[in-house]
């Protein structure tokens, strides 16, 4: 049994006197990633200078307010990777949040404090965001369900942006039943009654698994999903290679990141942490022509994936290449893992379609998730499908 050190998940700041309504989330506690405005609190975005220069918010972000109005009680702001521009959960300015399911491994980021707070039992719900994987990767690493929502379906008003055409609202919850309850609060009814009955897989995606142990663990999860959905059929690969799609994601993200934060970053030395500093430098060099070219590539990919899924398809894929990296791993090794991980994670943000990761497996004694990617606006159908698979799996144990 793990002895878990202090989680370092919640920021040590005074809470405002916010009213909490009554509703389906009454009795639940909420942590809020420090990119969302909460009235009376500073939004620091994981950077001390940003926090020092920002006045307390006048209003609470509408998505957060919905959770409060439906009964959730604010427990505090949760730590985020710097400007949400990371996937590993290691902010150079703060003690790193702990992965309660595997304390020697990273939590994943950038919703690092949020996932740690839920996985460690500090709160039952935590708000986060996902641009390149910041809900899905931490959820897989810490043994929780996690949905990247359809782009634009939940408002991001009152949130610090990273790359607006890729950013989405997300959340963690202590179990899939509560996850579905939160989804019912935040998401309107799906645009149609999606019947996700046509399972698909793209063989190339499985090549990003790290090794034999990861492949064996994934095969076991895959069999569990197929036992529920039926045997999946092999689907064609997109026109663009996976390397091309990764570059497409990276350059679209980088251009938009610099538009959002470049002037502030360039004004003086902001003390950015390693990795984040280099990503901002890379972002500053991406020009409009490159961005427009990659936007056209994204449009083609979105169209191809939409044609593949139609309104009944669900793509089964590894969420990440394996278990969370060891927290003590060398910086270069962590960056290599990050790039490999983004090859898997970039499909949902490039398409704008929803993807849910389910905590069905483990490898090397640590959690390991499998993902289902569905058609645009099939968010609640994906959650229902994920719950059915997890419930069936639990009964089989």
Q: Show the CA angle centred on residue 336, arms to residues 333 and 341, nearest 5°.
A: 125
Average pLDDT for residues 33-41, to the nearest whole number?
A: 97
Cα 139 from Cα 20, distance rounded (Å): 27
Q: How far is CA 6 from CA 73, 97, 102, 121, 143, in A?
A: 22, 8, 13, 12, 18
Instruction: Look over the chain and give the mean of its residue pLDDT values, rounded to a whole number.
Output: 96
Residue with tokens 């499909």: 347
| Interval 276-308: pLDDT, tens | 999 999 999 999 999 999 999 999 999 999 999
| Cα angle 311, 181, 305; round to 5 | 20
Torsion of CA 262, 53, 110, 134, to 10 degrees: -70
User: Of 33, 50, 73, 77, which residue is the catalytic one?
Assistant: 33
Computed from CA positions of residues 48, 52, 54, 59, in that sequence, does the dihedral angle turn out positive or negative? positive
**pLDDT on residue 1:** 44
C-alpha 133/C-alpha 155 separation (Å) is 18
* Predicted confidence (pLDDT) per residue in 214-260, tens digit: 999 999 999 999 999 999 999 988 899 999 999 999 999 999 999 99
| Residue 205 in tokens | 């995606």
Question: For residue 210, what are the CA distances in angstroms to 42, 123, 153, 163?
Answer: 40, 32, 33, 28
Tell whether the model's pLDDT for residue 2 goes beyond 60.
no
With 0-12 / 13-18 / 19 or more C-beta atoms within 10 angstroms meaning exposed / middle / buried, residue 342 is: buried
Is 86 noted as a catalytic residue in this protein? Answer: no
Active site residue 110: yes
Residue 3: per-residue pLDDT: 62
Quote the percentage of the chain above a pLDDT of 90. 92
pLDDT band for 21, please (50, 70, 90 cuts).
confident
* Residue 33 is a catalytic residue: yes
| Entry field: residues in the chain | 397
Q: Which of 114, 116, 134, 351 is catalytic?
A: 134
For 198-209, the pLDDT digits (tens) are 999 999 999 999
Q: What predicted TM-score, i.e. pTM, was given to this entire model?
A: 0.96
Phi, then psi, of 295 in degrees rounded to 5 = -65, -40
Q: pLDDT value at position 98? A: 97
Which of the residues 86, 110, 283, 393 is marked catalytic?
Answer: 110
pLDDT for 345 equals 98
Task: Name the phi and psi angles at 239, rounded to 5.
Answer: -55, -45
């Amino acid at each position: 049994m793990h002895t878990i050190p202090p989680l370092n998940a919640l920021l040590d700041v005074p809470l405002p006197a916010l009213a909490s309504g009554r509703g389906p989330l009454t009795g639940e506690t909420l942590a809020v990633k420090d990119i969302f405005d909460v009235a009376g609190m500073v939004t620091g975005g994981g950077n001390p200078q940003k926090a020092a220069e920002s006045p307390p918010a006048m209003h609470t972000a509408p998505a957060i307010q919905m959770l409060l109005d439906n009964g959730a009680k604010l427990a505090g702001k949760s730590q985020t990777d710097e400007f949400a521009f990371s996937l590993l959960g290691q902010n150079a300015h703060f003690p790193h949040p702990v992965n309660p399911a595997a304390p020697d491994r990273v939590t994943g980021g950038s919703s690092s404090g949020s996932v740690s707070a839920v996985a460690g039992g500090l709160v039952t719900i935590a708000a986060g965001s996902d641009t390149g994987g910041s809900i899905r990767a931490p959820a897989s690493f810490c043994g929780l369900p996690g949905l990247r929502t359809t782009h634009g379906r939940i408002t991001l008003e009152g949130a610090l942006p990273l790359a607006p055409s890729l950013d989405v609202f997300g959340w963690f919850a202590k179990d899939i039943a509560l996850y579905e309850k939160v989804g019912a609060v935040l998401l309107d009814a799906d645009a149609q009654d999606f019947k996700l009955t046509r399972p698909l897989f793209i063989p190339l995606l499985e090549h990003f698994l790290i090794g034999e142990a990861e492949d064996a663990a994934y095969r076991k999860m895959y069999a569990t999903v197929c036992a529920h959905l039926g045997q999946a059929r092999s689907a064609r690969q997109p026109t663009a290679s996976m390397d091309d799609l990764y570059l497409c994601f990276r350059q679209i993200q980088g251009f938009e990141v610099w538009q959002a934060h470049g002037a502030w970053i360039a004004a003086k030395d902001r003390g950015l942490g390693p990795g984040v500093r280099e990503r901002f430098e890379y972002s500053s060099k991406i020009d409009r022509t490159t961005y427009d070219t990659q936007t056209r590539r994204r449009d083609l990919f979105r169209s191809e994936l939409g044609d593949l899924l139609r309104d009944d398809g669900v793509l089964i894929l590894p969420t990440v290449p394996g278990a969370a990296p060891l927290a003590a791993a060398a910086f270069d090794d962590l960056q290599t893992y990050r790039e490999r991980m983004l090859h898997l994670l970039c499909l949902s943000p490039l398409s704008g379609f929803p993807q849910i990761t389910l905590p069905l497996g483990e490898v090397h004694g640590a959690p390991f998730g499998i993902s289902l990617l569905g058609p645009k606006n099939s968010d609640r159908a994906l959650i229902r499908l994920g719950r059915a698979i997890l419930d069936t799996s639990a009964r089989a144990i």
